Amino acid sequence: MSMFKKIAAFMRNEAGSSSEIANTTTTAAASVQQVRALLQQCKNLSQSLKTTRPGRFLSRPEPIAPTRDAADRLARLYLSHFEPVFRVLHVPSFWSEWEHYWADPAAAMDVTTLKVQLVIAIGSGLSGNEELPSSSRDVHRTACRWVFAAQDWVAAPFEKDRLSLDCIQIQCLLMLARQVLSIGSDLCWVAMGTLLRCAIQLGLHRDPKHFPSMGILEAEIRRRLWATILELNIQTSLDSGTPPGISCGDFDTDPPSNINDEDLLDVSTTVSTLKQQLDRVTTQTSLQRFLLRNLKDRLRMLHCMNGIDNPLKDEEILSLSARIGKACRDCVPYCQPIQRGSEVAEDERNEADIAMFRQATAQLLLRRFLLVLHRPLAGRINENALYYHSRKVSFDTAAALLKPVNSTNTSATTFSHLMVRGGGMFRSCLNHVSLALASELLIEIGDLEEGGGESGGSPAYRRLLVDAVKEARDLWTERLRRGDTNVRLHMKLSIVLGLVEKEEDGEERGDDRGRVDGGNDGGTSTQQRMTMSAKESLETCIGLIRRNF
């Protein structure tokens, strides 16, 4: 029996019925019962932990908790790192609202208060402890309350005066905040439907050229918001495994102009000057324009992967993969920070961090489509030699996505914070990366068995895979330390690593007792190794979850 089947059988028994356990040996049944008891203990602790987190009863808007200086730093962190990827705010206009808010918070309009609070909340999710005014847990709880307040405001019965660009901006910020802070992020696709329809109701799917009286500033804000909504929509669709609900024929909005925010306030700026700005000039909208150019291919992939009876042909898979792969290589110039008066002047010393964050985020938004497309095909190489390409793309993509998270370079710090804290697209990406690396390791060990101790990969390649899977497990350990409750993936990675160690032990002894398929004794030993790895993993997870109370 292959390792894939052995692990699948173990996981079925671990989560299966009593009748399934009865069909196993007494020793194996007792082992499975122990693992199941530990898993149930993890579930109970996770449910108890969730009850201690801020809920809807805390959703009434509260005064700003951080000091003005800390709030400024968190807002700048959001604007310098996230805003160029997902254009939501016109930065000079937002700073004006920001100043009006701080002049008299009690008199501020609801839309202004919500924007300010959501921007700070997102910034807190990107920050290290040095930006926080008090303990990180206190700031996180306050940010969660603001997110619930914004969610309640959005969910309230709509009046016509609530359907505005301000409302769309708040909904976009809310979508980002839920994923950055991992608050109900698994269900963002549901909320995305409301956001998409509100945008269509406001006519954002039609280009502003159809509204001759509209000013340039409003027109560009509408184009930017529509591009952001399209990007958020395909990302949440990929996470949920559902159709995107829109196609390229459903809108005619042009891409945002390649222009900086401050230039939109220049009275000399006209439609003709907007068109004259060349793409080779990097601006605050360059990265968004680049992502939008690569939207069509990703939409096509979603319609086929998540649709019904519309599979991609092998030739189309290769073609789409090549184009998205090229986009990943071409995105670097669009990720460089632009130093403008409206952007963060003090971030000049943090240019490396800003560039790294934007590049890593853009790579995530593009590459994870390759991972979801190729990972299911990677294990089917025996059916079709073309799937060897999928195996290679799956591993290369997973390794590329893991690299900035585990980088020892301090310039990767902000992105690492996001990946070990965030939910939604960030958590989903790490999930697929972990499974892709584990699958490649199992395939490599399987090839080694079938080849009588020889495989297509070198011992160095196997060690590289083992180290990568260990790094992925370490990231899930850190996520559990920060409040995540996904213990199953940590357990699966531990089982895979345990089987590999068993295989290596057999090689060192020079016999088959350590081999995964080394006869009946080997099978029993494999069951024991999986049980031991699962128990050790779950015991570690229980300790990490308890520390969060």
pLDDT at position 58 over 50 = no
Same domain flag for 162 and 227 = yes
Give the whole-angstrom CA distance, residue 104 versus residue 109.
Answer: 10
Mean pLDDT of the chain: 85
Per-residue confidence (pLDDT) for residue 350, from 0 to 100: 76
Domain boundary among 324, 348, 376: 376
Same domain flag for 334 and 427 = no
> Residue with structure tokens 């996470």?
239
DSSP annotation string for 263-324: GGG-TT--HHHHHHS-TTS--TTHHHHHHHHTHHHHHHHHHHHSSSS-PPPHHHHHHHHHHH
pLDDT-based confidence at residue 342 (cuts at 50, 70, 90): very low
Same domain flag for 20 and 132 = no
Same domain flag for 466 and 353 = no
**17 domain-assigned:** yes
Same domain flag for 401 and 372 = no
Domain boundary among 376, 396, 425: 376
Three-class SS state of 111: helix
- What is the pLDDT averaged over residues 349-363? 87
Same domain flag for 101 and 8 = no
Same domain flag for 308 and 258 = yes
- What is the pLDDT averaged over residues 168-186? 96
- What is the pLDDT averaged over residues 276-296? 88
Domain boundary among 351, 376, 401: 376
Same domain flag for 108 and 137 = yes
- What is the pLDDT averaged over residues 445-466? 75
Per-residue confidence (pLDDT) for residue 273, from 0 to 100: 67
pLDDT at position 261 over 60 = yes
**195 domain-assigned:** yes
Per-residue confidence (pLDDT) for residue 277, from 0 to 100: 65
**220 domain-assigned:** yes
Highest mean pLDDT among 233-242, 262-271, 492-501: 233-242
Same domain flag for 398 and 478 = yes
Same domain flag for 143 and 181 = yes
Same domain flag for 472 and 497 = yes
**170 domain-assigned:** yes
- Total domain count for the chain? 2
Per-residue confidence (pLDDT) for residue 241, from 0 to 100: 94
pLDDT at position 193 over 60 = yes
DSSP annotation string for 199-252: HHHTTTTS-GGG-TT--HHHHHHHHHHHHHHHHHHHHHHHHHT---S--GGG--
- What is the pLDDT averaged over residues 73-97? 96
**18 domain-assigned:** yes
Give the whole-angstrom CA distance, residue 358 versus residue 444.
Answer: 34
- For residue 95 the two structure tokens come to 């700073």
Same domain flag for 393 and 367 = no
Pick 267 or 541 by higher pLDDT.
Answer: 541
Domain that holds residue 267: 56-376
**411 domain-assigned:** yes
**382 domain-assigned:** no
pLDDT tens by residue, 134-164: 545 577 788 999 999 999 999 888 777 778 9
Three-class SS state of 1: coil
pTM for this one?
A: 0.90
Torsions phi, psi of 468, nearest 5? -65, -45
**381 domain-assigned:** no
- For residue 174 the two structure tokens come to 């809310």
Share of the chain above pLDDT 90, in %: 60
